Amino acid sequence: MRRFVSFLALMAVPLVLCTGDLASAQKTKDKAKADADDDKPAKTKMVKVGVLVGKVTAVYEEKRRMRLTVSYPVRSIDQSAVGQMNQAQQQMAQATARRDFAAMAQAQRTLALAQARMYKTENKTKDVEVQAAEEVVVRLSKPKEEFDEKGKIKSRKRLTKAEMKELKGDPKLPGYKAEWGDLQVEQIVQVTVVRPKGEPAPKSTSRPKKGKKGSDDALGEMVGLEIPTVGMVMILQEPPVGK
């Protein structure tokens, strides 16, 4: 019995040494991986500024840039409405002094109409060049056309769930998989303008003139940026047939 116990003890020694070596090797491997991760440059987190929709007029593959023609609303003060407001206010004061209630009511209606017309909105277009972010995402609003063996467009109704899942790619992203190389002139696209988190919002190079309210939202500001950075491009519409 003693010999058997001694034999087990002798067998256990190399097992312990082997286990220790494996644990030491794993720690060394984990440390090397951690050091490698530390050496990697930290990814810059981007935050959304807004979106622009426009027609692609040029794609610069090497620079990862694209030129768009975008339309955006601009609100400005209607000077004729301001004149009507001033006139209505004078009429109101005169009617009040005369205690002419009918004239007072008329002046109030004129004033309300003038106030409603105080701002006018007009659509403007501008060519904007955008720069793709380092990790820009390109997506399609609908899957790419698939072709069968005869070269005919494959009906999407025939696609299996697995095929649709493959076309979708990352389920957390809108639309379907695409690449920068899928971008082409005459497409209608929606681009998401971004900036590094923590940095102040970039200033527009085209400020509204004095006396104007500016655009309805941040759209006009984005259009005025020198070269907006885009984190996502959604292809909304392909070029017309024959383009």
> Where do runs of H (alpha helix) occur along the chain?
2-39, 79-98, 101-116, 161-168, 219-223
- Per residue in 141-159, pLDDT (tens digit) is 988 776 666 666 666 567 7
CB 154 within 8 A of CB 146: yes
Mean pLDDT score of the chain: 78
Of the two residues 16 and 192, the one the predictor is more confident about is: 192
Asked whether residue 199 carries a pLDDT value surpassing 50, the answer given is: yes
Those residues with Cβ within 8 angstroms of residue 187's Cβ, 6 or more apart along the chain or in another chain: 55, 56, 235, 236, 237, 238, 239
Does residue 67 contact residue 110 with C-beta atoms inside 8 Å? no
Poorest-pLDDT segment among 16-25, 29-38, 122-131, 231-240:
16-25
What percentage of residues in the chain have a pLDDT greater than 90? Answer: 35
Q: Residue 240: pLDDT above 90?
A: no
DSSP 99-113: T-HHHHHHHHHHHHH
In 102-187, which ranges are E strands?
119-140, 146-147, 153-154, 176-177
Is 54:124 a contact under the CB 8 Å cutoff? no
Whole-model pTM: value is: 0.61
Residue 195 has pLDDT above 50, yes or no: yes
